[in-house]
Amino acid sequence: MVLDTGSDIVWIQCAPCTKCYSQTDPVFDPTKSRSFANIPCVSPMCRRLDSPGCSTKKQICLYQVSYGDGSFTVGEFSTETLTFRGTRVDRVMLGCGHDNEGLFVGAAGLLGLGRGGLSFPSQMGRLFNRKFSYCLVDRSASSKPSSMVFGDSAISRTAQFTPMLSNPKVDTFYYVELLGISVGGTLVSGISPSLFKLDSTGNGGVIIDSGTSVTRLTRPAYVALRDAFRAGASNLKQGPEFSLFDTCFDLSGKTEVKVPTVVLHFRGADVSLPASNYLIPVDNSGSFCFAFAGTMSGLSIIGNIQQQGFRVVYDLAASRVGFAPRGCA
């Protein structure tokens, strides 16, 4: 399943498919499960959905979720037993998706790890003390697997922590306070904390999202960061833009290069990114791009490319997010 800290609903593809994308394992067939149960429309569980539906024929609860990239899933809201490495969790509320379209290729579904009431951590609450963490290995270079830990052992001893902020308007996202960014050891002057402020109306702010790949910063912050990086990397041969990246380099024929350091300064935690977390290969011929992008929305998102190799700790009990470097070992 896709691990997504930017959404809440847990769902899997279910037979019979109206429209399913291709997944690696066989599609789950609820008729073959003794523990699977539909949720009736009149159930309070159904009313916990943001936009619940009801099938008139069977009077069972329906769900739908759409994501920022246009992907969506639609189906029956139900309960089922999930087993993780021998740990059984009964009656987890999840979507049984019969129409699932978008960028989910290969995965059987999505594990919603957000802060909302229907997310997996919220449903499990007491079972693992409202703590979990993951470490994502470098997708292009690693033979080690990524890992996910639930419970007290999710807290890494080497993690630096930053307080989790709450947005009264949106309960799903993990907001953190980003104060500034350094390039090559110098604070970027055009980036002030006000660019990342979560205001009283629920706009702006910075979230940590495992389900977004490239970090998006509000446009003025991105432009300042990019210009500082370009200035520090002026020794490198520039390459053409690629997809959403406007700052790319032709490193063909080089075995190693020196690049400016990039450090994200959160309140209480300075996260120093390895070069592979911000200069990423985009082809097989030596083109690398600076893996940040701007956004016209006020919301900035720290994506999973920037999280690679860190154990990212979500400690809801203490309302904090932690970052432990080299956390995948």
Point out the residues that are catalytic: 4, 209
Q: Strands 215-218, 53-55: parallel, antiparallel or unpaired by DSSP? A: unpaired
* C-alpha distance from residue 115 to each of 31, 64, 139, 239, 263 (Å): 31, 18, 26, 40, 26
d(CA 26, CA 88): 21
How many CB atoms lie under 10 A from the CB of residue 67?
Answer: 17
Give yes or no for a contact between 129 and 141, defined as CB atoms under 8 angstroms apart.
no
Rg (alpha carbons) of the chain, rounded to whole number = 21
253 sits in the region (left: phi over 0; alpha: psi -120 to 50; else beta) called left
139-to-67, 99, 224, 281, 291 alpha-carbon distances in Å: 22, 28, 28, 11, 14
The pair of three-digit structure tokens given for residue 151, joined into one six-digit string: 């419970």
Half-sphere exposure of 244 (CA within 13 A, CB side): 11
**If phi over 0 gives left and psi between -120 and 50 gives alpha, with beta otherwise, what is residue 269?**
beta
